[in-house]
Amino acid sequence: LWGGCERISPEAPVQVVDIAKETTVLGGAGNVINNLVTLGATVSVAGVIGSDENGDELLSMLHKIGVNTKALVVQDDRKTSKKSRVIAANQQILRYDQESKNAISETSVRDILKVLESAMNDFDIIILSDYGKGVLTESLAQGIITEAREKAKKVLVDPKGIEYSKYRGAHLLTPNKKEAIEATGIDIKDDTTLEAALLWLKKECELDRSMITLSEDGIGIYDDGGVKRFPTVAREVFDVTGAGDTVIASLAFALSGGMSIDEAAKFSNLAAGVVVGKIGSATVTLDEIVTYESSLHQSNSNAHIKSFNEIDHIVNYCRSNGNRIVFTNGCFDILHVGHVKYLQEAKSYGDILIVGLNSDASVRELKGPTRPVNSEDDRAYILAALDAVDYVVKFGDDTPYELIKMIAPDVLVKGGDYEGKEVVGTEFAGELRLVDFVDGKSTTKTIARIQEGNQC
């Protein structure tokens, strides 16, 4: 409930909030569902709701995002969880909750298990997102884990409380550091105590592997190869709300897609890095993860080399986020300091620098039969490794006209030698910037010096 406050109530010393609008979002385990959907997963949900207005609203929201609710059971004596926040002048002044916290009935347990047992082969992976509201009883958790193991399906658990025996036999748990300390009784303060806690979880809960999320220190995992740490990649932290939901959702998404546990941990760290830069219970998309990873320059150079179709998609996404797109092009045959300074200045004009790279055939047309010295694949890989360059796109035409037309950059950058000349594609760009080259630095001169050395 969003509004403003301009007076105190005459009935009691409390603020009077004039409600201007209401917004409703999926929270709790619903935030895990939301993250899976935005990542592109097909999702089914199991759980218990009440026979009430909140339950109807929840079902409607789930159906709207395409979630299968066949295993969502209605139990008449329960309240569907709803947390209401009153926000005045962008500050929360009150929250009131409506929910049931007692254990669900055995009838509800049987109803859920009956649906899941018949549908288990439809799933790639199962997430148990425990928010301590009485739904994940030991009989339900163990029933799901047992059935999943029989069908060779992995179960990932975001646990609650200190009694983890009900999660016995899961593939892995994702407690945070505080939760792991409380559950294991081990004070995690260095690599030795982290390993002890991970081993305790693996042994006591009979896990395939164990994991602990370590906030700003990333993720710690123990499997047959020992302890591994995966550092966080967050640049800015605005709000950690829902970060745990994003971690388990992205882990499940990655593992179900065939990634190794190491790859999945890195992927979930990237996803968490995106959501902590947002306000409130946030979700993440694959586009956001790809763009974020690219901006960190921690990915392989190949991840920055894009096709025409890929760059079109990326440009649309970046522009929707308000990013200023810069484009330049060239042969970039033997990379030298002049190239690097030119690209660094080009990047300074915006947020995303896209470099159009002449193919080998087009370089031969421009420079003659002895060029290029380096192949287009090699040139693209080296360019993509530069911090200033976000994406590289190879083109085979004599000019990048079609590429500039598609990208429609905010800034088109060319060399200072184009002063007074017509520049291809300017009609599609917001503005043209000319950058002076570094005196005495060029691929042609570099080749000449090499040839002179060979003659000596």
- The model's pLDDT over 418-439, given as tens digits with 9 standing for 90+, comes to 888 899 999 999 999 999 877 6
For the stretch 281-324, pLDDT in tens is 578 877 777 777 666 655 567 878 999 988 998 898 888 878 89
Residue 270: pLDDT band (50, 70, 90) is confident
Q: Do residues 161 and 180 lie in contact, with contact meaning Cβ atoms separated by under 8 Å?
A: no
Average pLDDT over residues 184-199: 94
Q: State mean pLDDT over 369-390.
A: 92
Least confident range of 256-260, 263-267, 299-303: 299-303
Mean pLDDT value across the chain = 89
In this prediction, residue 297 carries a pLDDT of 58
| Mean of pLDDT values over 201-210 | 94
- Containing 93, the helix (H) or strand (E) segment is strand 91-98
| pLDDT band for position 232 (cuts 50, 70, 90) | confident
Check residue 320 and give its pLDDT.
Answer: 80
How are beta strands 154-158 and 125-129 bridged, if at all? parallel
Asked if residue 51 has pLDDT above 50, the reply is yes
Least confident of 79-88, 171-180, 214-223, 250-259: 214-223
Percentage of the chain modeled with pLDDT above 90: 67
Other beta carbons within 10 angstroms of residue 333's beta carbon come to 23
Q: Active site includes 387?
A: no
What's residue 269's pLDDT? 86
Segment 88-105, tens digit of pLDDT = 988 889 999 999 999 999
CB-based contacts of 230, cutoff 8 Å, min separation 6: 218, 219, 220, 221, 262, 265, 266, 269
CA-based nearest residue to 391, from 285, 268, 299: 299
pLDDT recorded at residue 239: 46
Q: Are 286 and 39 in contact (CB under 8 A)?
A: yes
Higher pLDDT, 69 or 278: 69
Work out the number of other CB atoms within 10 angstroms of the CB of residue 122: 10
Burial class of residue 43, CB neighbours in 10 A (0-12, 13-18, 19+):
buried
Q: Is pLDDT at 4 greater than 90 in this prediction? A: yes
Distance CA 417, CA 415 (A): 5
pTM of the model: 0.69
Q: Which of 27-31, 296-300, 383-387 has the lowest mean pLDDT?
A: 296-300
Mean pLDDT of 242-259: 89
* Per annotation, catalytic residue among 111, 158, 245, 333: 245
Instruction: Report the pLDDT averaged over residues 379-392.
Output: 93
Summarize pLDDT for 128-152 with one digit per residue, the tens: 999 999 999 999 999 999 999 999 9
CB atoms near residue 9 (< 10 Å): 10
